[in-house]
Structure 1
Amino acid sequence: MPPFFRGLLLGLSLIVAIGPQNAFVLRAGLTRQRALLSALACALCDTALIAAGVLGVGGLLARSPGLVLAGTLGGAAFLTWYGLRALRSAWVGGGPGLEATGEAPLTARQVIGTAVGFSLLNPHALLDTVVLIGGASAGLGTGARLAFLGGTVLASWLWFFALALAGRTLAPLMARPQAWRVLDTLIGVTLLLTAAGLLLGLRGQ
């Protein structure tokens, strides 16, 4: 299989799994709060991380236990905070009734900051983009490596923007407050489980 399509398939297989970035972009699409900006921010972060992995930075980070520990603790704290926030939203009610709960729409700066946090403070995302994708490209020549890089980056961009647009399409189906409670509960549980997995991983080291 040509390197470009290998990268495309690998990128899709890693990014499609439910995770913090996907949950964030999907919710932005459903609430129609700067959905395309959230998708753009996540895609740009993934592009930078994938490029770093393909260019060999992943191996350097893997040999720095201090950086790995700091990143894991910071990522677990960030995911825990956002997960609890999602569960609180599920408890008080969310979705189209956000204004009724007193939650103001996110500003562009807040959207970008949150997307960067989910991308750079989530060791699972770093593992997928920097280490796994970087390792998969290690045996390729320069031209093939660039093609592989292009395929994985394209997968990221296609997925995030498709998710944002899908959220807008599904918004009418989410008119019921109960549906939003279920979605926010799933998002909160996903984020908390991710954070717990990071901390348990530290205990096993």
Structure 2
Amino acid sequence: MILPFLVGIGSGLSLIVAIGAQNAFVLRQGIRREHVFWVALICGLTDAVLELLGVAGIGFVVQKAPVVLEIVRWGGVAFLLWYAWSAARRAMKPEVLVAGDGSGGSLKRTILACLAITYLNPHVYLDTMVLMGSIGNAQGDPGRWWFVAGGALASIVWFFVLGYGARMLTRFFATPRSWQILDGVVAAVMLVIAARLVFGGVGV
């Protein structure tokens, strides 16, 4: 069942290899070398579990639950605006932006922020559960489970590569000015995603 497996890898990468709240967060943690393993693991396993649930049929339930998606939608907007404001505030204080050595930022706070960014974005459910679930189920049995395996592998590998690969940028981010640029970009990305949720809704 190599074909469904490869389709899963390709479909998974096409959805996650893009500028977004989750990738921006993983990238920043990777550059700062702070709790990268746990952040990458949470993001990767979350995608894997949601893809599994989508193929198992939960994606259909999510698609038919507009009230739940609306609650997640506005919760996501509030969190994204807060995160954008935090990034903008950091950008205005360049003296505290130099890349860390892995000792700053508590693990608990980092995990909570990672979970919020992951689960308060309704597109995570629509893309991972509904879209991936639909593509996966089109593979038939047992192809759909190979599809899930491919998608899960793609997600886990991507987040670990992004997190640990970001360390190669550490030298560039050794100056406050570089961090100002990064946090300015992060703030802009969060605002754009929040605006899309407000004005574009969460329709598939």
Task: Find the counterpart in structure 2 of residue 181 from structure 1.
Answer: 180
Equivalent pairs counted in the alignment come to 200
Q: Structure 1 residue 97: deviation in Å?
A: 6.3
Task: Find the counterpart in structure 1 of residue 73 from structure 2.
Answer: 72
After the TM superposition, which segments of 4 or more aligned residues of structure 1 sit over 3 Å from their partners?
Answer: none
Q: Structure 1 residue 178: deviation in Å?
A: 0.7
Q: For the residues of structure 2 that align with 1:29 and 1:202, how far apart are their CA atoms?
A: 31
Q: Structure 2 counterpart of 1:16, which letter? A: V
**Structure 1 SS opposite 2:92:** helix
Q: Structure 1 counterpart of 2:60, which letter? A: G
Q: Residue by residue, what CA displacement relative to the aligned partner does 1:32-57 show, whole Å, maximum 9, x if unpaired?
A: 11112111111121122111111111
**Structure 2 SS opposite 1:189:** helix
Contact 2:99 2:173 (C-alpha < 8 Å) held by counterparts: no
Task: Find the counterpart in structure 1 of residue 155 from structure 2.
Answer: 156
Percent of residue pairs identical: 38
Q: Structure 1 residue 106: deviation in Å?
A: 2.0
Task: Find the counterpart in structure 1 of residue 196 from structure 2.
Answer: 197
Task: Find the counterpart in structure 1 of residue 115 from structure 2.
Answer: 116
Contact 1:49 1:126 (C-alpha < 8 Å) held by counterparts: yes
Matches within 5 A, 1:18-97: 18-93=19-94, 94-96=96-98
Is 176-185 or 123-132 further displaced after alignment? 123-132
Q: Structure 1 residue 173: deviation in Å?
A: 1.5
Q: What runs of 5+ residues in structure 1 fail to find an aligned partner?
A: none
Q: For the residues of structure 2 that align with 1:14 and 1:140, how far apart are their CA atoms?
A: 18
Q: Structure 1 residue 142: deviation in Å?
A: 2.7
Q: For the residues of structure 2 that align with 1:81 and 1:46, how far apart are their CA atoms?
A: 24
Q: Structure 1 counterpart of 2:104, which letter? A: P
Q: What runs of 5+ residues in structure 2 fail to find an aligned partner?
A: none
Contact 2:34 2:100 (C-alpha < 8 Å) held by counterparts: no
Q: Structure 1 residue 61: deviation in Å?
A: 1.0
Q: Structure 1 counterpart of 2:22, which letter? A: Q
Q: Structure 1 residue 98: deviation in Å?
A: 6.8
Corresponding position: 1:172 with 2:174: no
Q: For the residues of structure 2 that align with 1:121 and 1:203, how far apart are their CA atoms?
A: 12
* Superposition RMSD in Å: 1.9
Q: For the residues of structure 2 that align with 1:125 and 1:58, how far apart are their CA atoms?
A: 11
Taking structure 1 as the reference length, what is the TM-score of the superposition?
0.91
Q: Structure 2 counterpart of 1:70, which letter? A: I
Q: For the residues of structure 2 that align with 1:42 and 1:95, how far apart are their CA atoms?
A: 24
